[in-house]
Amino acid sequence: MICKISHFNKKLKIKYCTAAMADFRNRKHSSPFLLVYFLLIRSLFSTAADTITASARIRDGETLVSSNGVFQLGFFSLNNSTNRYVGIWYSNIPVPTYVWVANRESPLTGKNGALTVMAPGALSILNGTNGTVWSSTLTAPSPIPNPIAQLLDSGNLIVKDVNGDRFTWQSFDYPCDTLLAGIRLGWNYVTGVETYISSWRSEEDPAKGEYSSHVDPTGYPQMVLKKGDAFRYRIGPWNGLRWSGAPDTSNDPTYSVSLQMTRDEVRYTEGRVGDSVLSISRLDPNGEGVRSTWNDRTNSWTRYTNVPADNCDSYGLCGPHGSCNVGTSPSCGCLDRFVPRDPESWGRTDWSDGCLRRIALSCNGDKFLKYSAIKLPDARNTTYNVERRSLVECQADCARDCSCVAYTQLNISGDGSGCLFYHGELIDIRVMASAGQDLYIRMAASEPGGVASTSGNGGNRGRTRTIVIASATSVVVVVFVCVILVCVYGRRRKSDPIVGLFSATTHVKEAELPFFSLPTILKATDNFSNKNKLGEGGFGPVYRGVLEDGQEIAVKRLSKTSRQGVNELRNEVMLIAKLQHRNLVRTLGFCAQGEEYMLIYEYMPNHSLDLTLFDKEKSRLLDWQKRFDIINGIAKGLLYLHQDSRLRIIHRDLKASNILLDADMIPKISDFGLARSFGGNQTEAQTRRVVGTYGYMSPEYAIDGLFSVKSDIFSFGVLVLEIVSGNRNRGFLLKDHNLNLLGHAWRLYTEDSSRKLLDPCLDEAFDLGQVERAIHVGLLCVQNSPDDRPSMSSVVFMLGNDVALPQAKQPGFFTERDISIDHSSSSSNPTASYNELTITWTQGR
């Protein structure tokens, strides 16, 4: 065994044992003496080297470790292949995660390779006969005589002169599929070299695949994901804070993004605040951009965003001047004041031709119409002006130039400054649920003024929205608020949003979901006997049943109120059934007989969360660890609905009675995806109703009927505070104030005594840090403004990692409403959960 100790800079820097060390790892069980010897050597040289000198080489089996111990460089194989690669991975986690591969296109074929640094400063991988299979390019203008290679704490492998800091090369300039904090994507205009991310060909082959991710500086810089040379997904132009189409991460305490633009380069970087968390952004071989963080508790990577997330993320889906909205059907529409270029193909849901202005431009007295809450269109055909200019000045500049078809604020940070001017066609616009921007589009002088619809799909004008609260059991029907809004929509929709979206894009085979015959169900539920009734959910009664083979099931009889056709309904049910996640109730099958529809679910022995949580006796069984696990489980289920399922389901009625518990107390969300097709009584063909539950509804939803993922997040926040405190939000009363649970939690939080919110029935066995974190996250979710609320991915991240959290702002709906409500539901009544007040939002046309 040879151990080398090299000196340089008069400091003992390199301590590593060649060859033998690795062999020992493989053979260490062969002799106890060798094992002891190995451990002795390892303790002597406990600091693994992070550097290779010119005289040394790293052989297959040896590794370098960065001085913070986070990254490791060495040789590896993927699966059973004999191909060997040199790469960098995380050294302290059990899941192999390769963040960089040197010879991705030219693997070694055996285990006799070596990595060396040679003058004048190149890093090379040699094979068994000293042939060079890969070599770094020389980027330094002049050679350096004594190069060394060093693996830095950031995961960057650099080649530099032994006596200086001058780099000749760094791996961060040649990233593979992973964007680590500190990698600078973009262009060096001086050398013409681009730094970009490219996917692996497959999980077993790190060679360059067909997907890549770039900062495209054409026009104004935007981030794009390409398949080959074609745009697949465009995150949008930089707006001073972020890419225009990216979620607002300014309130994500752990994540920062920045763009530097100079005459010589344009560079985008992502940063992590705090070292405690491992985090990567990766472009996977299927072309999905995935951001994940390492979770020590589960010993796995938690995905918490992925793009493209839905249909509307497909580049240019709706053609020029089209606008995509996942919430409408069909998802493509023309921008307000635009009409399909070819109505016939548009009718066939072929949107590629896009739309035209209703009234052509004349460049004479044209005006501008504001379109809000959108992702800015493709910025390749733009010009810009970075001076401090107001919107009014931008408009004047755009009006003077007949080729300018639209303008917007270039930089929306601070008071805003600069202008971005669009030329040519406006393409790849989508409606954003939050963090959208405004675009001012040029209109002919004769076009009537007003405000542009943001729905993107047009509609009639003069729509009235009425909100009605109806109690499912009591006769009390309170007219809650009547809000009369003048909304401008374009043409009428043909069918319900989600159905159209799916039927346009998905062909569902019937055989995929088991069909149960009505006699089977009748037998299982004893003719829907009352003793088998579990309760009355939002969409109809639920019965327990036992199949002939003894399997227990739950049967939901959907109210016969949907206005959709049978086939559409069936399609939709099957799509919902395809959503599968550990924290969603699994659909076992369905049953259709005439107009009657039934969904068959797995049976949950521990029933709904409210029955345990709000019961004085049973709630003792929910210790803190169980509660925290339930919160985390719900968060993951909801994250899946919001982003991972690719259908972007907004639940709209998240509440304790919709969380079911299995035998191991694992929470499962139920009733997801039903709101759109079974949203209550639909007798009038043209009435759209949205269902929610008082106490869980966000202000913008209850008052304006505006729903988005952020309204679900509000409900989730309420649920978190309920789980921590063991109290319902609705009907929560304390003698000394008239705050509801949210208000009470907020008050305790501002007094720095959040822990008093914790359910007093819990014993001392809890982790106070976790309790406070859960309350803090809950309060962030119920903030009054939807934009302030974190996304579900941030929530999962903040719950799972010990990171600093932003200050919570005042919650919405934090006092008990001064309207009379039926408080008859009590926690000891087992059917209480089904008697909750339900608010129905009616949209007349």
- CA-to-CA distance for 410 and 378, rounded, in angstroms? 14
Cβ 589 to ligand NAG shortest distance, Å: 23
Q: Which is nearer to ligand NAG, 466 or 606 (CB)?
A: 606
Position of tokens 């009547």?
A: 482
Q: What is the identity of the amino acid at 617?
A: E
- CA-to-CA distance for 462 and 483, rounded, in angstroms? 12
> Is 131 an interacting residue with respect to ligand NAG (CB under 6 A)?
yes
Position of tokens 């109806």?
A: 470
Which of 621, 761, 768, 804 is the binder for ligand NAG (CB under 6 A)? Answer: 621
Closest CA to 801 of 154, 179, 254, 247: 254
Which of 120, 128, 462, 844 is the binder for ligand NAG (CB under 6 A)? Answer: 128
**Contact (Cβ atoms closer than 8 angstroms) between residue 215 and residue 221:** yes
Cβ 810 to ligand NAG shortest distance, Å: 35
> Is 80 an interacting residue with respect to ligand NAG (CB under 6 A)?
yes
Helix/strand/coil for 678: coil
Which of 31, 55, 92, 203 is the binder for ligand NAG (CB under 6 A)? Answer: 203
Q: Which is nearer to ligand NAG, 81 or 517 (CB)?
A: 81
Cβ 4 to ligand NAG shortest distance, Å: 14
For ligand NAG, which stretch binds (CB under 6 A), given 125-133, 337-345, 432-440, 472-480?
A: 125-133
Q: Which residues of 427-464 are buried (b: 16+ CB within 10 A; e: fewer)?
A: bbbbbbbbbbbbbbbbbbeebeeeebbbbbbbbeeeee
- CA-to-CA distance for 234 and 211, rounded, in angstroms? 13
Q: What is the identity of the amino acid at 454?
A: T
Q: Which is nearer to ligand NAG, 692 or 731 (CB)?
A: 692
Cβ 754 to ligand NAG shortest distance, Å: 26
Cβ 726 to ligand NAG shortest distance, Å: 13
Q: Determine how β-strand 289-295 pairs with β-strand 300-307.
A: antiparallel
Cβ 112 to ligand NAG shortest distance, Å: 8
Cβ 627 to ligand NAG shortest distance, Å: 12
> Is 403 an interacting residue with respect to ligand NAG (CB under 6 A)?
yes
Cβ 423 to ligand NAG shortest distance, Å: 4
Closest CA to 578 of 642, 635, 508, 643: 508
**Contact (Cβ atoms closer than 8 angstroms) between residue 181 and residue 157:** no
- Residue 40's CB is within 10 A of a number of other CB atoms, namely 10
> Is 130 an interacting residue with respect to ligand NAG (CB under 6 A)?
yes
Cβ 380 to ligand NAG shortest distance, Å: 6
Q: Which is nearer to ligand NAG, 116 or 454 (CB)?
A: 116
- CA-to-CA distance for 11 and 4, rounded, in angstroms? 15
Q: Which is nearer to ligand NAG, 92 or 403 (CB)?
A: 403
> Is 129 an interacting residue with respect to ligand NAG (CB under 6 A)?
yes
For ligand NAG, which stretch binds (CB under 6 A), given 121-129, 170-178, 250-258, 327-335?
A: 121-129
Helix, strand, coil percentages (3-state) for the chain, rounded to 5, are 20, 30, 45
- State the angle between helix axes of 32-44 and 20-27 in degrees (0 to 180), rounded to the nearest 10: 140
Contacts of 698 (CB under 8 A, 6+ apart): 710, 711, 714, 715, 782, 786, 812, 813
> Is 79 an interacting residue with respect to ligand NAG (CB under 6 A)?
yes
Helix (H) or strand (E) holding 463: none
Q: Which residues pair with 224 in a beta bridge?
A: 214, 234
> Is 596 an interacting residue with respect to ligand NAG (CB under 6 A)?
no
Q: Which residues pair with 179 in a beta bridge?
A: 281
Window 264 to 303, contacts with ligand NAG (CB under 6 A): none
> Is 830 an interacting residue with respect to ligand NAG (CB under 6 A)?
no
Q: What is the identity of the amino acid at 71?
A: F
Which of 124, 292, 612, 825 is the binder for ligand NAG (CB under 6 A)? Answer: 612
> Is 142 an interacting residue with respect to ligand NAG (CB under 6 A)?
no
> Is 475 an interacting residue with respect to ligand NAG (CB under 6 A)?
no
Q: Determine how β-strand 279-283 pairs with β-strand 178-179.
A: antiparallel
Cβ 135 to ligand NAG shortest distance, Å: 10
**Active-site residue, 653 included:** yes
Which of 663, 735, 765, 820 is the binder for ligand NAG (CB under 6 A)? Answer: 663
Closest CA to 668 of 585, 604, 601: 585
> Is 400 an interacting residue with respect to ligand NAG (CB under 6 A)?
no
- CA-to-CA distance for 136 and 140, rounded, in angstroms? 12
Helix (H) or strand (E) holding 743: helix 741-750
Window 626 to 655, contacts with ligand NAG (CB under 6 A): none
Window 670 to 699, contacts with ligand NAG (CB under 6 A): 681, 683
Structure tokens at 472: 């499912």
> Is 473 an interacting residue with respect to ligand NAG (CB under 6 A)?
no
For ligand NAG, which stretch binds (CB under 6 A), given 73-81, 207-215, 393-401, 523-531?
A: 73-81
**Cis amide bond preceding 699, omega within 30:** no
- CA-to-CA distance for 45 and 5, rounded, in angstroms? 10
Position of tokens 């780099």?
A: 167
The per-residue DSSP string of 651-670 comes to -S---GGGEEE-TT--EEE-
Cβ 616 to ligand NAG shortest distance, Å: 14
Q: Which is nearer to ligand NAG, 46 or 130 (CB)?
A: 130
Cβ 722 to ligand NAG shortest distance, Å: 17
Q: Which residues of 749-768 are buried (b: 16+ CB within 10 A; e: fewer)?
A: beeeebeebbbeebeeebee
Which of 606, 784, 785, 842 is the binder for ligand NAG (CB under 6 A)? Answer: 606
Which of 15, 201, 358, 423 is the binder for ligand NAG (CB under 6 A)? Answer: 423
Q: Which is nearer to ligand NAG, 468 or 706 (CB)?
A: 468
For ligand NAG, which stretch binds (CB under 6 A), given 72-80, 208-216, 385-393, 636-644?
A: 72-80
**CA of residue 217 relative to chain centroid, distance:** 26
Which of 6, 91, 127, 146 is the binder for ligand NAG (CB under 6 A)? Answer: 127
Helix/strand/coil for 6: strand
Cβ 58 to ligand NAG shortest distance, Å: 13
> Is 381 an interacting residue with respect to ligand NAG (CB under 6 A)?
yes
For ligand NAG, which stretch binds (CB under 6 A), given 32-40, 124-132, 182-190, 541-549?
A: 124-132
For ligand NAG, which stretch binds (CB under 6 A), given 34-42, 127-135, 233-241, 391-399?
A: 127-135
Closest CA to 252 of 233, 274, 269: 274
Structure tokens at 229: 């040379």
Which of 49, 64, 78, 721 is the binder for ligand NAG (CB under 6 A)? Answer: 78
What's 749-764 look like in SS3? HHCCCHHHHCCCCCCC
Q: Catalytic residue among 496, 653, 759, 788, which? A: 653
> Is 204 an interacting residue with respect to ligand NAG (CB under 6 A)?
yes
How many amino acids of this chain bind ligand NAG (CB under 6 A)?
24
Name the closest residue to ligand NAG (Cβ). 131
Q: Which is nearer to ligand NAG, 81 or 92 (CB)?
A: 81
Query: Which residues are part of the catalytic machinery?
Result: 653
Binding site for ligand NAG (CB under 6 A): 78-80, 109, 127-131, 133, 203-204, 381, 403, 423-424, 561, 605-606, 612, 621, 663, 681, 683
